[in-house]
Amino acid sequence: MRTALLQSSGRPGSVAANLRALDASAGRAAAAGAALLVAPEMFLTGYAIGDGVGRLAEPADGDAADAVAETAARHGLAVAYGYPERADDGTVFNSVQLVSADGVRLANYRKTHLFGPFERDHFTPGDRPVVQAELDGLRVGLMICYDVEFPETVRAHALAGTDLLLVPTAQMHPFQFVAESLVPVRAFENQMYIAYVNRVGQEGGFEFVGLSALAAPDGVARARAGRAEELLLGDVDPVLLAASREGNPYLADRRPGLYGSLA
């Protein structure tokens, strides 16, 4: 499955502009044969927008979600995108939603591990560590940025059968080693593909480092962006995935009885 990674910070504070950017990128991705487009964490609104988080937050089935569904259906590819989600009780979550190529909402995930005072001041952590959907014969999992830095979360996905883990992110300087080193290792030790899709450039007090990647189960980044805006393309190959899992049977060789509560 050809997968497009949109490395961009869009226009912070303007949902309309970011929806237009997403639509344009979906058109380019579809023309290149992609079946899935993944945008970064908080793409629809911007990340460093202060109290704008609460002002711009929408329900998972709100107007922005409808607009993304129309984009997906118009271009005939699935779309995963980050946004601030307002629940029925007014609680705000840092979320990612996956929409199918025919515009159907497939899955919605709320970030479970909040990073730093900014996120803890503006969001409530989610409580479902594993959210998945079936897409083109693959089991696709969702998480956000800091979540992937916890080995327990990715292993939980591996045990639940995730083939491709989508990780919209807002990863910043000086933590670029996460994109460069940790993400490919996570893909290898859990025998899955990981699409790690970052913001880029200066935004508020943050410097986002780009370096988005599609990491394969052999620990190799099969596609890697630099530090500028980019639409990155890579292929998720079920044949390679099956062969890698056979040759690297970490999950089969586990001994949960030794690990106690960690298992």
Residues labelled catalytic: 41, 111, 145
Let me know the angle formed at the C-alpha of 164 by 43 and 251, rounded to the nearest 5 degrees. Answer: 135
Neighbour tally for 141: CB within 10 Å? 28
Label residue 239 exposed, middle or buried (CB < 10 Å: 0-12, 13-18, 19+): exposed
Name the CA dihedral angle for 219, 222, 226, 232, rounded to a multiple of 10 degrees. Answer: -140
Which amino acid makes up residue 10?
Answer: G
CA distance linking residue 117 with residue 115, whole number of Å = 7
Length of the chain: 263
- Assign 128 to helix, strand or coil: coil
Cβ-count burial of 128 within 10 angstroms (0-12 exposed, 13-18 middle, 19+ buried)? Answer: exposed
